[in-house]
Amino acid sequence: IWHFPLGLVGDLSLYGTINVVLAGIVFTWLYQNTGSVLLAFLMHVTHQNSVRFLGKVFVDGDYVQQQWIGVAIWAVIAVAIVAYYGTESFVRRPQAQLSVAAA
């Protein structure tokens, strides 16, 4: 949802859109299975900084190729998560409440 306005103004490319969806799958799984917004946030920051770092590595390289490599990496991670943990791991279940019996 956060990146949706970028698509409305034409500032989100095809690889950017796919990247957002795949990263969203990974971030959602991470949050749903840890309950930690901080961990999902740190993963997002790590992703952003790795993109900036790789941009410097690919100085004379093709920017679009770099972006598609990033999409491929996110795709492998997302597919691995779904294949290993299944789609049920994306649903957060309420934790069981322990009740104390009155003595």
**54: its two tokens:** 């790789």
3-state secondary structure of 95: coil
Top pLDDT among 8 and 79 is at 79
pLDDT (tens digit per residue) in 15-51: 888 888 898 889 988 888 888 899 988 988 888 887 7
Following DSSP, what letter does each residue of 8-71 receive, concatenated? HTT---HHHHHHHHHHHHHHHHHHHHH--HHHHHHHHHHHHHHHHHHHHHTTTS-HHHHHHHHH
Cα–Cα dist 48/20, whole Å: 12
Structure confidence at residue 80 (pLDDT): 94
pLDDT (tens digit per residue) in 48-101: 887 777 777 766 667 778 888 888 999 999 999 999 988 877 776 666 555 566
Where exactly are the structural domains of the chain?
A: 11-89
Q: Indicate whether this model's pTM tops 0.85.
A: no
The single-letter code of the amino acid at 92 is R
